[in-house]
Every structure is written in structure tokens, then in C-alpha cells.
């Protein structure tokens, strides 16, 4: 009888642990959180790239590593959307960037400041013109698009309005 009670208690604790892990809130990140601690001073010194008005493609700075300890974390991060794949109603793949115009009118941010987002269920286009939150599983994966190299990928599970204004 005691063994049975211990077994049931163990199963109950394991089950409760799995439930609480599954329902844990995502880690709320901001863009500096994606930069390794030992590179933050260098990142701050460089600041945001200057706007280029010459019409040519500005080169992307490839400095900046990712933070491997963030790999496979459930996260929530704000940003601006640069559409890559989709149709007139929904977008299924996009770049998430820290400021408006990144990758378009200025040199792209470093790879650790661009996130490639896969959103298979499709995000409504009208939701994506302002700052949004993307929620999903963050991976430290390099991807290349015609616009920029990225240091992170998110498997998106939801998009939320940015409400911190």
C-alpha cells in the first residue's frame, strides 16, 4: 500500500511539473538581451547604423554572436516586420527587426539583431504594420535571405499587439 501511494505521489508530482512547465509564461526579451554580455559595450559604442540615402545596398555588419543559452526558450519580443513569404492576406515568414526601416533603407542590423520568424498558421497582413510582439520558440540558427543574415529563428505561436506605449 505504501509503495502504491508513493508511486501515485511521484506520478502526480511529475504530471504537475510537466503542466507547470507547459503553462510557463514566455521570457520577455528586448533587443539588447540577444547580445552576449561581453559584446554589449561594443554594440553600444557602434549604436544604430547611419541612414544611407545613396540608393545602393548598404553592407551588413557581421559582428555579434548569439546567446546559446537562449536556444529553445519560449520568448516574447517586440519588433517591426519585414515580410518574406505569404500572400495578400497573410504572411507566413518574415524578419523581425528592432527598428523601422531596418534592412530596407539603412544597413541591416548585425545578425544577432534580426530574427527569422516562421509563422505557418499565417499572420493577418493588417496586424503587421506597427510594432508587434512575437511569441514562440527561439532558436540560435543562422539563416540567409536576400535582405540579411539572421542569428536567431522563432517558430511563432502567436502575435500580440505591442501595448507598452
**pLDDT per position as a tens digit, 36-76:** 988 877 665 445 444 455 655 556 666 679 999 999 999 99
Q: Is 139 a member of any domain?
A: yes
Give the domain range for residue 115: 26-161
Is there a domain that residue 16 lies in?
no
How many domains, the chain? Answer: 1
Domain-embedded: residue 2: no
The candidate with the shortest Cα–Cα distance to 116, out of 148, 90, 86, 89, is 148
| Alpha helices (runs of H) in the chain, residue ranges in sequence order | 2-22, 40-46
In a domain, 154, yes or no: yes
**Is residue 31, in this structure, part of any structural domain at all?**
yes
Look up the pTM and report it: 0.75
Half-sphere exposure of 114 toward its Cβ, with a 13 Å CA cutoff? 28
- Asked whether residue 49 is assigned to any structural domain, the reply reads yes
> Which CATH number covers residue 40?
2.40.50.870
Which cell numbers in the block locate residue 32?
Answer: 539588447
Q: pLDDT digits over 82-134, tens only?
A: 999 999 899 999 999 998 877 776 778 899 999 999 999 998 887 777 899 99
Q: In this structure, is residue 61 part of a structural domain?
A: yes
Q: Is residue 87 part of a domain?
A: yes
Amino acid at each position: 500500500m505504501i509503495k502504491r501511494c508513493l508511486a501515485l505521489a511521484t506520478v502526480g508530482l511529475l504530471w504537475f511539473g510537466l503542466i507547470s512547465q507547459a503553462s510557463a509564461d514566455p521570457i520577455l526579451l528586448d533587443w539588447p538581451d540577444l547580445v552576449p554580455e561581453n559584446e554589449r559595450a561594443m554594440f553600444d559604442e557602434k549604436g544604430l547604423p547611419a541612414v544611407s540615402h545613396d540608393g545602393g545596398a548598404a553592407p551588413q555588419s557581421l559582428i555579434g554572436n548569439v546567446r546559446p543559452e537562449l536556444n529553445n526558450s519560449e520568448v516574447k519580443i517586440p519588433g517591426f516586420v519585414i515580410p518574406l513569404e505569404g500572400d495578400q492576406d497573410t504572411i507566413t515568414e518574415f524578419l523581425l527587426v528592432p527598428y523601422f526601416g531596418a534592412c530596407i533603407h539603412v544597413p541591416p542590423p548585425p545578425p544577432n539583431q534580426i530574427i527569422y520568424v516562421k509563422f505557418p498558421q499565417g499572420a493577418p497582413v493588417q496586424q503587421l504594420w506597427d510594432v508587434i510582439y512575437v511569441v514562440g520558440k527561439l532558436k540560435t540558427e543562422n539563416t540567409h535571405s536576400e535582405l540579411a543574415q539572421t542569428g536567431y529563428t522563432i517558430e511563432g505561436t502567436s502575435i500580440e499587439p505591442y501595448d507598452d506605449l
